[in-house]
Structure 1
Amino acid sequence: MARFEAMTSVDGKQAAVSLSGECDLAAREECTAVLMAAVDAAPQVVVDLGGLTFLDSSGVHALVTAYRAAIERGGQLSVVNAGGMVAHVLDITGVGGLLQPQDGAGDG
């Protein structure tokens, strides 16, 4: 089983979070904590899902929780580079459309 890893960098008003491995129930608390810290650090958060090989409802919950927190603070959270089954999970749950980058989000 692939281990979950998260890396965050903050540059001014944007935080970039890179997730890799499997984002499931075992990783839910870590994933939520990392995403919430990014939301606290910058108004614009871009989450790169390119390294994720698995995403379940626990990971979707973490993303939505952080998204709602960003919106409540007047910010934005979006995801980029979702592929394969991760993109499929986001699409079938409707979360993929919710977390699409807005104009300028994800531009370095």
Structure 2
Amino acid sequence: MRITTSHDDSGVTRLVLTGDLDMATTGVLDDSVAAALAATSPRRLVVDAAGLGFCDSSGIHALVRARDSAQRHGASFVVDEPTGIARRALEITGLLGVLTTVTTVDGQ
């Protein structure tokens, strides 16, 4: 998995995920979330899931940990563009309604 991180002037930090989010790669997301929250203290943390090819239960758990970490740092949390298998995994686990999910984020 590859994660690209960007920050904007409105306090939004975006992590763009590309590849598979599974047991072998959840540590990469955990580390990226921790680094982004420590470096920028964003008001919103966005995980862009449009590029996820696969997401297993450990990947879903990593998204929940990311949300919890963001909230502990006073940031809102959004999963942007969950599509395909990632969206289906969120639906099956009942987390699509629990995690804030959107199809686009305008940074506001």
Alignment map for 1:25-64 (pairs within 5 Å): 25-40=23-38, 41=40, 42-64=42-64
Q: Letter of the aligned partner of 1:81 in structure 2?
A: E
Provide the aligned C-alpha RMSD in A: 1.8
- 2:5 corresponds to which residue? 8
Q: For 1:60, what is the secondary structure of its paired residue?
A: helix
**Aligned-pair CA distance for 1:66:** 1.4
Q: For 2:33, what is the secondary structure of its paired residue?
A: helix
Runs of 4+ aligned residues of structure 1 deviating over 6 Å after TM superposition are: none
Whose helix proportion is higher, 1 or 2?
1
* Structure 1 length-normalised TM: 0.85
Give deviations 1:42-71, integer Å, cap 9, x for gaps. Answer: 120111111001001111111111101111
* C-alpha separation in 2, matches of 1:101 and 1:60: 13
* Structure 2 length-normalised TM: 0.85
* C-alpha separation in 2, matches of 1:61 and 1:35: 13
Q: Is the 8 A contact 2:81 2:101 kept in 1?
A: no
**Aligned-pair CA distance for 1:101:** 4.6
Give deviations 1:14-49, integer Å, cap 9, x for gaps. Answer: 101100111111101111111222233212011111
Alignment gaps of 5+ in structure 2: none
* C-alpha separation in 2, matches of 1:35 and 1:92: 24
- 1:95 corresponds to which residue? 95
What fraction of aligned residue pairs are identical, expressed as a percent?
A: 35
